[in-house]
Structure 1
């Protein structure tokens, strides 16, 4: 059995204004850095065996605060990046239905094979994204069998793990809140992941914690 702490990165300036990040490499803002420090302090009395993060700096910075208090280094993995949204990246969510009405409608309809318009990065369907994320999470779950690890990533990554644990179809509307710097506890056993605790933000001021923006699709 492996215990996995899946953690969303702290707040960024783009989170605060509801601008889509995806693979664009946006750092934590001052609030995000404060959240990361509070998160690290909340976990400092739990012995972690490894800390793995998406290679995007908002995740690396968050993981770095945890690693510093744990006396560990952070392993980075691009396979744990947020979903790539193609031409949606860099846009305000409020602009999307006007600039890309057809693609935005397919996205809101939770079509697991909907494609994004071209952009700086090549977009991923939800099906491809889910497969990528779960392959990497399960890889670390098997590698660190019998241990406790933290994986610091993104809202979409956490949602993939939630869906896998609950065996929800990819086209089902999202049913959970995913806060910045939240702790979400899973166990991996007998080839399956299950949820022990979801959405722990006791270490934060709940009024200042932002939900992962894809909630607007539900």
Structure 2
């Protein structure tokens, strides 16, 4: 999904929210949350390919979740750009309590009512963990703080997780929490782009970077 800007208008700052590469738990459809699961070899390859594309955009700064699947993804872009990666704990995925480590089938079997309520857009502490609004409360300010340091028309790359990226986008666009689900999930190592407009941030691209693929992981 792309939006065209006005001819001759100042581009403004740009935020690229990049989901980490594939993990084994993504493939197994196992809910990760804040569990520190590493990238697979496939995930490392995805990060390297995506990093080549993102490096061509000339990013000015990289910030990442400190979980290794995100930090490892960010490191591939850092290696190409020479930029340092700033690690931020508040960019971690949603903490999901007892759901973490379970497959989606296991969650639906054991916590079906709670799972269905979440999918309906109701505020749910999945597995006794965080609300989506609480994730946005911690992650969105981090993104804005780093974006404010950018030069005019600068680009910030934020490496994070599917659920955290979606809630952050929803918050920065001013969407009501119940509508955040409508943004859809991100495929591993794909990204969304927010651009600075006259009335705030706007979504320029969503789930960009590859041909359409199934979304695997916490956010599908």
Q: Shorter-chain-normalised TM-score: which range?
A: 0.7 to 0.9
Verify: 1:34 aligned to 2:41, yes or no. Answer: no
- Map of 2:175 onto structure 1: 168
* Distance across 2 between alignment mates of 1:176 and 1:98: 23
Specify which of 136, 143, 154 is matched with residue 149 of structure 2. Answer: 143
- Pairing of 1:124-203 with structure 2 (within 5 A): 124-146=130-152, 147-172=154-179, 173-189=181-197, 192-202=200-210
Deviation at 1:41, TM superposition (A): 1.4
TM-score (norm. length: structure 2): 0.85
Partner of 2:215: 211
Q: CA deviation at 1:96?
A: 0.7
CA distance in 2 between partners of 1:188 and 1:161 (Å): 15
SS of aligned partner of 1:198: strand
1:80-112 CA distances to partner (integer Å, 9 max, x unpaired)?
A: 111111110110011012222343233233222
- How many angstroms apart in 2 are the aligned matches of 1:79 and 1:211? 23
Structure 1 residues 183 and 108: CA distance shift in structure 2, 3 A: closer
- 2:92 is equivalent to residue 92 of structure 1: no
43-52 vs 188-197, which deviates more?
A: 188-197
Distance in structure 1 (CA, Å) of the matches to 2:216 and 2:139: 17
8 A contact 1:155–1:212 mirrored in 2: no
Which segments of 5 or more consecutive residues in structure 2 lack a partner in the other structure? Answer: 1-11
Q: Work out whether residues 185 and 207 of structure 2, in 8 Å CA contact, stay in contact via their aligned partners in 1.
A: yes
Label 1:21 to 1:44 Cα distance change in 2 as closer, same or farther (>3 A). same
Residue number in structure 2 paired with 1:76: 87
Q: How far does residue 198 in structure 1 lie from its aligned partner after superposition?
A: 1.7
8 A Cα contact 1:11 1:210, kept in partner: no
Q: SS of 2:148's equivalent? A: helix
Q: Note if contact 2:25-2:217 (Cα within 8 Å) is conserved in structure 1.
A: no
- Structure 1: give runs of 5+ residues left out of the alignment: none
Q: CA deviation at 1:39?
A: 0.8
Name the SS of the counterpart of 1:19 in structure 2. Answer: coil
Q: Look up the SS of the partner of 2:141 in the other structure.
A: helix
* 2: CA distance, partners of 1:82 / 1:191: 28
- Structure 1 residue 190: Cα displacement: 5.9
Measured after TM superposition, the shift of residue 126 of structure 1 is: 1.4
